[in-house]
Structure 1
Amino acid sequence: NYLVLGFVNGIACGFSIPISWTFGAKDYVEMRRYTANAVWLSVFFAAVLTVVTVAMTRSILVWTNTPDNIIDLADIYIRTIFIGIPFTLLYNMTSALMRALGDSKRPLYFLLVASFLNIGLDLLCIITFKMGVFGAAFATVFSQAVAGLGSLWYILKHYNELRWNKEESRLSRQHCVKLCGMGIPMGLQCSITAIGSVVLQGAVNGLGSDIVAAQTAGGKAAQFLSVPLESIGTAMTTYASQNMGAHDLNRVNKGVNTALGIGCVYSVASFLILRVLDKALIGLFLESSQTEIMANAQSFIFWNSVFYIPLAVLIIYRYTIQGLGYSSLAMFAGVAEMIARAMVGFLFVPLWGYFAACIANPVAWFFACFFLIPAYIVVFRKLKQEKARPHANL
């Protein structure tokens, strides 16, 4: 699932970087040209990804050793999610565009609307209409469609500076190359990271459906409090790219240090919250009678949340490097994560069983940090030596 949706989110964030650069440099003509070409590219990627992924859903599930007793349900759920890729890309692109122009509040508002709508539709479709996994997937797609269309409406109504003329809206090879140079590496980074997760998931699937259920429930509960860390990272992409456009690298470094402080404090608070509320959160996905599965889910939450600080460090440095224009370099952090998760899946799950699955994410986070921290230092020093010259081909 994230193998594809992560790519969608990555290209949307990447497309917004040149837009943010030109906004920071106050070059509004180029900003509109980048925006128009980002729209054309988004339409292309949405069409291609939807057709390919819907056609390959069953094969992907077979490749990952999905247990026979859940493969049909997984097929229905994931195929429905893939059908909604155009809406997913619409929401991610409009949100990234608003953040690129310095508006981080509206994307949050539309995200909250989508989240509450998703919860309400989940209850309606699953409990009232008995639509099962299709209902859960439909609720997700419909909620993202509402958020995406709402964001688009807001942009068209309130962002007059983005209204391009006929000449600015033309497809430009130069602008498309720059956009793809930012977007595709960011998308691939997410997909490469997910490949390791797919390999790991294949190993975990071999441990049985109860273990899969525990890992899934624990992962969802842990993700509930790790998502804000991604928001900090996304903010750093915009912050770094705007200040890059304004040629103020010192502010970038100050922002990184501030974000690291916020991320560390939040990580500790999240760990403490999960120690108290883990069982309650797991109860949203499992029945209280499933005591062994719940205990395994709690173990997964513990071993992930106790290492939220390296996750925060990873996210902040990775997104900052991307905002500075080095998406390809940041992609190698995804390679490090992929190698770590695949290594755990191939070598340690057969030896240590479920415990190896619990520590796979932290191992991957440490691998990525070992690459990203020195990478950021090298990038920052290089840009300082160049005296923060603007990108010549913006």
Structure 2
Amino acid sequence: MQKDMTKGNPMPIILQFTWPLFLGNVFQQVYNAVDSMIVGRFVGSGALAAVGSTGTIMFLVIGAATGLSTGFTVLTSQRYGIHDEEGIKKSVANGMLLSAAVIILMTVSSLLGMKGILRLLNTPENIFEDAYTYISIICAGIIASVAYNFFSACLRAIGNSKVPLVTLIFSACLNVVLDLALIVGLKMGVAGAALATIISQGVSALMCFLYIWKKETMLRPEWEQMRFFPEDTKKQLGVGVPMALQFAITASGTMVMQAAINLFGALAVASYTAASKLQNMLTQGMMAIGQTMATYSGQNYGAGEVDRIKKGVNAALLVDIVYSVIAGLVAYLGLPVLLKFFFESGTDMTQIMFYAKRYTVLCILFYIPLCVIFIFRNTMQGCGYGFLPMMGGVVELLARLLCAVIAMRVMSYSLAVFCDPAAWLAAGIFTMVSYFHVIKKIEKRKELGSTGTAAK
């Protein structure tokens, strides 16, 4: 089920590749949403707040680790664009070894510093222990998340977005069963929610690995290739490290935002948590388009097809703008109904709705800048340019930091939740300008006959 994206009309190719990614992303969000719903309804709003208060830490730790491992597969995509099968196997082997190093480093460092991070985020005392229990188990299982993201990214690099979808659907269903068994049946609370997530991710990683081993020989390195290749290491770290830093920088901004929201108490945290879960699910279409553009631009950059990259970006922008309008309407109209699934029956939703609606409405107004970030950032990364996308993360951090500091000083919840929209607007402008700069640079390289050398 490989897909060569260097030929044919860009629009249908992008849509065909995006659809499975979108469904897969939605099912991946089901992991967290189901955890939150079951925890909120069967354990209580305090436990929901505890799980929600760790969301930004998960984004920092898991995002940085998976950003590295996913970045390692950009070289695989570029080599697929020029049909270099031996080079593909070498890049996969090198990426696997680098990912193993990432797993060890991130697992140890995150577990050692977790209590300090929770204190730094102003985590309320009444939810501190539950928050620590949940995030510690998640960090101990980083191997599952990194393994899934690496193997699924390898499959996407050769144009296969359907197998990652199938594995995610299965693991999402498994996650629901495990949640009910561990949280409701065995009364394990937030620990059960974390274990269900880790086990489900581990199963999806194993399924992707087994598929690659049996079906995709192009992605299966020979035993003698299981070693570090200095040139490949340099190229993969050149993309993976900026991607990880971009995740880490963006996450640092969301952590500052979380610290500001935490000052308004457990009810505000629980309300924001529920609204953000719905928000994350609805924005997965934008993220899927971005993931598609990473593969699309990687293959076409490797093949030296610069004009196709630009046509693909224009098609992706059109799709994403339409999607943003639809997602905004669904978010606004569906919030009052969907929010109730996160809380115990009989809960007074008046104050919860106030906090949740304020965040949701502000975000809807800035969906288009958000989709611009995903498209331009992933396109640049697919072409092997990691620095400017990383700097876009710095812009996001600065915007969130400014809003959060002012919000904490004047104690404004509205300003605290405006951190996300402010970051999207600032980074959207930055990444758009950066994209045009990168495209001009690539065109000049093509004129000199050196486009695609990064893939060799």
TM-score bracket relative to the smaller structure? over 0.9
- Corresponding letter in the other structure for 2:391: F
What is the aligned-residue identity percentage?
A: 38
Aligned to 2:181: 124
Q: Which moved more, 1:383-392 or 1:140-149?
A: 383-392
The answer for the alignment partner of 2:144 in structure 1 is 87
Aligned to 1:197: 254
Q: 1:164 aligns with which of 198, 221, 235?
A: 221
Q: TM-score, normalised by structure 2?
A: 0.84
The one-letter amino acid paired with 1:105 is K
Match of 2:155 in 1: 98
Q: Is contact 2:257–2:404 with CA below 8 Å preserved after alignment?
A: yes
Contact conserved, 1:221 with 1:301, CA < 8 A, in 2? no
* Paired residues for 1:204-353 under 5 Å: 204-287=261-344, 288-351=347-410, 353=412
Contact in 1 for aligned 2:366/2:425 (Cα 8 Å)? no
Classify 1:196/1:392 alpha carbon distance in 2 versus 1 (closer, same or farther; 3 Å): closer
Deviations 1:34-60 (A, max 9, x none): 110100011111011111111211111
Q: Give 1:393 deviation, angstroms.
A: 6.9
CA distance in 2, matches of 1:120, 1:309: 36
Q: Secondary structure at the match of 1:170?
A: coil
Question: What is the rounded CA distance, in whole Å, between the counterparts of 2:395 and 2:454 in structure 1?
Answer: 31
Deviations 1:125-180 (A, max 9, x none): 22222111011111111110010011111110101122323443222222111111
Q: Deviations over 1:290-310 (max 9, x none)?
A: 421232112212211232111
Partner-residue secondary structure (3-state), 2:418: helix
For these two proteins, the number of residue pairs brought into alignment is: 394
In structure 2, what is the Cα distance between the partners aligned to 1:275 and 1:199?
26
- Cα distance in 2 for partners of 1:114, 1:269 equals 28
Matches of 1:169 and 1:217 in 2, distance apart? 44
- Structure 1, residues 339-369: CA drift from partner, whole Å, max 9, x if none? 1111111113432511012211110001101
Moved more, 207-216 or 282-291: 282-291
Q: Deviation string for 1:38-94 (max 9, x for gaps)?
A: 000111110111111112111110111101011100000000100110010000001
Q: For structure 1, which runs of at least 5 residues remain unmatched after alignment? A: none
Partner in structure 2 of residue 40 of structure 1:
97
Q: Secondary structure at the match of 2:355?
A: helix
Give me the whole-angstrom Cα distance separating, in 2, the residues matched to 1:100 and 1:291.
47
Counterpart CA distance in 1 for 2:358 and 2:339 is: 11
Q: Does the aligned pair in 1 maintain the 2:79–2:455 contact within 8 Å?
A: no
Contact conserved, 2:72 with 2:95, CA < 8 A, in 1? yes
**Is the 8 Å Cα contact of residues 222 and 305 (structure 1) preserved in structure 2?**
no
Structure 2 CA distance for aligned equivalents of residues 370 and 392 of structure 1:
27
TM-score norm. by structure 1 comes to 0.97
1:392 positional shift: 5.2
CA distance in 1 between partners of 2:247 and 2:138 (Å)? 17
Mean alpha-carbon deviation: is it higher for 37-46 or for 272-281? 272-281
- The answer to whether 1:78 aligns with 2:135 is yes
In structure 1, the partner of 2:11 is none
Q: What residue ranges of structure 2 are gaps of 5+ in the alignment? A: 1-57
Q: Summarize the Cα distance change of 1:110–1:166 in structure 2 as closer, same or farther, 3 Å threshold.
A: closer
AA in 2 matched with 1:122: D
Aligned-partner Cα distance in 2 for 1:76–1:205: 18
Q: Which residue of 2 aligns with 1:10?
A: 67
RMSD: 1.4
Q: SS where residue 213 of structure 1 aligns?
A: helix
- What amino acid does structure 2 have at the position aligned with 1:254? K
Distance 1:115 1:304 in 2: 26
